[in-house]
Chains A and B, each alone.
Chain A
Amino acid sequence: MTTVSASVHTGQATSFRSVLSEWKAVIGYGLIALLGLIVFGLRTDSGVSTSFQISRPDDTVQVPSFSVPAQPIALTLAVILFAFAGYQAWAKLRGTSVGVWLPIAYGVTFMAALLTWAGAGREDTNVAITGMLVSGVFLAVPLVFGALSGTLCERSGVVNIAIEGQLLGGAFLAAVVASATHNAYLGMLAAPIAGALVGMLLALFAVRYWVDQIVVGVVLNVLVIGITSFLFSTVLSDNTALNQAGAQIGAQGGVMIQNLPIPLLSDIPILGPVLFDQNALVYVMYAIVIVFQIMLFKSRWGLRVRAVGEHPKAADTVGIKVNRTRVRNTILGGAIAGLGGAFFTVASQLAFSKEMTSGKGYIALAAMILGRWNPKGALLAALLFGFADALRIQLGVIGSPIPSEFLAMLPYLATIFAVAGLVGRSRPPAAENIPYKK
């Protein structure tokens, strides 16, 4: 009797939940549009305007700045948000799926509404669009490298919580090598070595000794923080020549990683400065994302890696060396995250300081999950987080009504929603965190 009623009860719960999960996109879009209408549309003072500055002062092609009447524009944008939600509902009823353009267009519209609202009535400042986008891409760099590292490791079945440590190690070694050799590019080359060393330790404990991969990752992060902070306070403070900011290195005749604008492409308004007027690390990032997107899903190597991560026993049966694949991928992943660590020192032209990665490794982990364990998704998620960070800085400049701490929480909250299945469904590789024992 009890079992019957229990099963009936769970049956209702699942059907309710399945309805909810089928319509959650529509519901979500609708709720956010409502929020946009109430906050941005109705709470913006009428009669004031928001001014936008498109081009930066030194761009080749200048797009003139302009201002818009804040309230009508914010209202219009909120209505457009409702239109997108309606389109999603219509597509749902017809049973067709909408393309990836909808969430992107929705996001862009929402951002525009938010900026119009935040900048309303602030006559002395204007919203610098291009500057914000450029810093968004730049801030996303360590996240992209970190998320890509996590993707490579986890696709082979090794959880990489040690991204934070790999970034920090890379940042440290890059600073030291660049300062010692007066060559920032040598620092950039050295960074992956530090990350790979951390990756090797992870592989040693996780694959050879079957220690829980999450434990190893957490502890390795503490270890790297300990070692780099210790050396920073002892060796580096005794020999300041070993830890200089990029600009100082440049002054001594060395090279610092500077922006390398790509001819013609970098002159395109907005897109040019954002994508094609960045430093070498950013261009390497584009290349690595494309290469691994193709390699993971179109090459024999990628198929083997994914087989090892999903069903190691089957992979072993057809002759793939499971543990060797895992060790190699973990070290390669570590090296990539280490390269991303170069962002903090040589690419940002800063000297190394204690714990300077400040949790970026964990945001990278979040980007990997939101990106559903593939390089393209990781790139998009990392860009989203980078733009959120740039938006936080921009709102700080124009004086935002939203406390910056709440914007800083966004990536973490988004990840919680993602793993709870509220935003899409993210499923990790099946054999993740399970040591392969013959």
Chain B
Amino acid sequence: MSAAEAKTETPENKDRSDEARSFFRAVVESNGLVVFLAVVAALVVGAVLVVFADKSVQDAAGYFFSRPTDLLSAAWTAVSDAYVAMFQGAIYNLHADSFSGAIKPLTNSLTFSAPLIFAGLGLGVGFRAGLFNIGAQGQVILGAILAGFVGFQFHLPLGIHLALAVIGAVLGGALWGFIPGLLKATTGAHEVIVTIMLNYVGLYLLAWLLSLESFQAPGSDNPKSPPIDGNAQWPKLLGDDYGLHWGFIAALLAAWGVWWLMERSTWGFTFRAVGANPSAATNAGMNVKMTYVLVMVIAGTLAGLAGGTQVLGTEKALTTGIAGSIGFDAITVALLGRSRPAGIVAAGILFGGLRASGPTLQVQANLPIDIVLVIQSVIVLFIAAPPLVRFLFRMPNPRLVKEVTA
């Protein structure tokens, strides 16, 4: 640690929430270049894995000393195949016959990004209020359960049915956010532990519900609900040829709503104040405990909406795997988006694209989708540790530069 850094550090006697704040501030304030370099570094790590697993590279490595260029060209082919496949699966299909076929991957990416944006927004609100909510997964599941139940159980007119199903998503998510918020406010129970545990409770609750006769499609014993009523589905955005539905537009509207909430409303000011310094917020007359509950309810609401888009737009039936790993991916989305709505939308689309490229990656480059998990997690590790990125890319320390010029 450099002396200049030490000087700018706050005094030692700080509590847990101060520490959380300094981390979140680091994430929120990390500059765009660091984020870009983190993505580059993650792609390099991904490339290393691809090369390591490639069969022709392994063969070429066997006679490396007689013809070293073979190894290099095999490695290059493997890596470029992988990233070309990823591009074609996520953005633009070069081999399609028509323009509408060529942009289909992009619309798929946007479909995948909708729940990530919703859940990421919820987590972002929590992070900025100093709450580390790992419970998006459970909140997504509960949202999906209620939205799905309303969706397949009733048969209501167009418009009303979708609205009711979305309200179901909101209530389910909000309930699963309210519990840890309330426990933190009343007993001080750490939200990280409670939310992790609630994820599993939600998962088993879903598994139990889907084992009931009333949650299964008639005449079937599979853990899968009857299909969602047509009136309760998110309508298609670009016609029936594309999977993209209005849930994506709803996610963008939610992003605008969260921006307004955090930047323009009194509540948002309170949230940010509590996140920046809970004791100062208390002294300023803000109700910190109430804020914790409120923030968790809002975070749960947004995550519940993510479950709603999954069940009402993408999957159109409730299944045990309805939430996939959205709740955990959303953590990386929120961190990469630096907890800001615009950043979360961008990060959500990026990770949605990575997800959407899975099938193409499998078919064209014969690679499993799991490489995406590696890329995602490495990106987040790097942006969480700007000094490491600066060290890897030999960048100057901004604090040191400031010190010198001042």
Which one of B19, B20, B189, B376 lies within 8 Å of A416 (CB-CB)?
Answer: B189
By the criterion CB–CB under 8 Å, are B208 and A205 in contact? no
Contact of A238 with B by CB under 8 A: yes
Interface pair B9/A409, CB less than 8 Å apart: no
Q: Are B384 and A216 interface neighbours, CB within 8 A?
A: yes
Q: Is the C-beta of A184 less than 8 angstroms from some C-beta in chain B?
A: no
Contact across chains for A415 and B53 when beta carbons are under 8 A apart? no
Tell me whether B371 and A218 are in contact (CB under 8 A).
no
Q: Is the CB of B368 within 8 A of A229?
A: yes
Contact for B370 among A161, A212, A225, CB less than 8 A:
A225
User: Are B200 and A359 interface neighbours, CB within 8 A?
Assistant: yes
Contact of A420 among B187, B207, B374 (CB under 8 A): B187
Partner of A223, one of B24, B331, B377: B377
Task: State the main secondary structure of chain A at its contact with B.
Answer: helix
Determine the residue in chain A with the shortest Cβ distance to B374.
A226
- In whole Å, how far is B77's beta carbon from the nearest beta carbon of chain A? 16
Contact status B197-A226, CB under 8 Å: no
Q: Is the CB of B328 within 8 A of A222?
A: yes
Asked if A28 is an interface residue, CB under 8 A from chain B, the answer is: no
A409 touches B201 (CB 8 A): yes
Q: Are B368 and A234 interface neighbours, CB within 8 A?
A: yes
- Give Cα A230 to B376, complex, Å: 14
Q: Residue of B at shortest CB range from A224?
A: B377
Q: How far is the CB of A418 from chain B (nearest CB, A)?
A: 9
- Given B55, B132, B207, B328, which contacts A405 in the complex, CB threshold below 8 Å? B207
Contact at A211–B385, with CB atoms within 8 Å?
yes
Q: Are A230 and B49 in contact (CB under 8 A)?
A: yes
Q: What is the bound-complex CA distance between A354 and B325, given in angstroms?
A: 14
Cβ of A212 and Cβ of B373 under 8 Å apart?
A: no
Contact (Cβ within 8 A) B200 A362: yes
Q: How far is the CB of B255 from chain A (nearest CB, A)?
A: 22
Select the stretch in A140-148, A174-182, A430-438 that faces chain B. Answer: A430-438
Whether the Cβ atoms of A223 and B378 lie closer than 8 Å is yes
Main SS of chain B's interface residues? helix
Contact, CB under 8 Å: B205 / A405: yes
Q: Which residues of B contact A220 (CB under 8 A)?
A: 377, 381
- Given A212-B23, A409-B204, A234 contacting B332 (CB threshold 8 A): no
Residues of chain A in range 394-438 having any CB-CB distance to chain B below 8 Å? 403, 405-406, 408-409, 412-413, 415-416, 419-421, 428, 433-435, 437-438
CB distance from A405 to the nearest CB of B (A): 4
Contact of A222 with B371 in the complex, beta carbons under 8 Å: no
Closest residue of chain A to B210 (Cβ to Cβ) is A405
Instruction: Identify which of B132, B211, B373 gathers the most chain A CB atoms within 10 Å of its CB.
Output: B373
Identify A211's interface contact among B23, B197, B331, B370, CB under 8 A: B23
Q: B292 → chain A, closest Cβ, in Å?
A: 14
Whether B208 pairs with A406 at a CB distance below 8 angstroms is yes
Q: Is the CB of A438 within 8 A of B381?
A: no
Min distance, Cβ B355 to any Cβ of chain A, angstroms: 13
Cα distance, A226 to B377, chains bound together (Å)? 9
13 contacts between A and B (CB under 8 A): A209-B384, A210-B23, A219-B331, A226-B373, A226-B374, A227-B374, A230-B53, A233-B368, A362-B196, A403-B208, A408-B204, A415-B193, A416-B197
Residues of B whose CB lies within 8 Å of any CB of A are 1, 6, 9, 12, 14, 16, 19-20, 23-24, 49, 52-53, 55, 132, 134, 183, 187-190, 192-194, 196-198, 200-201, 204-205, 207-208, 211, 328, 331-332, 335, 367-368, 370-374, 376-378, 380-381, 384-385, 387-388
By Cβ-Cβ distance, the 4 closest A-B pairs, closest first, are A226-B373, A233-B368, A234-B53, A405-B208
Given A220-B377, A220-B381, 18 other A-B contacts at CB below 8 A? A212-B23, A212-B132, A218-B134, A222-B328, A227-B49, A227-B370, A229-B368, A230-B367, A234-B367, A406-B204, A408-B204, A409-B204, A412-B201, A413-B197, A416-B201, A421-B187, A434-B19, A437-B1
List residues of A whose CB falls within 8 A of some B CB: 161, 205, 209-212, 214-216, 218-220, 222-223, 225-227, 229-231, 233-235, 238, 313, 354, 359, 362, 365-366, 369, 403, 405-406, 408-409, 412-413, 415-416, 419-421, 428, 433-435, 437-438
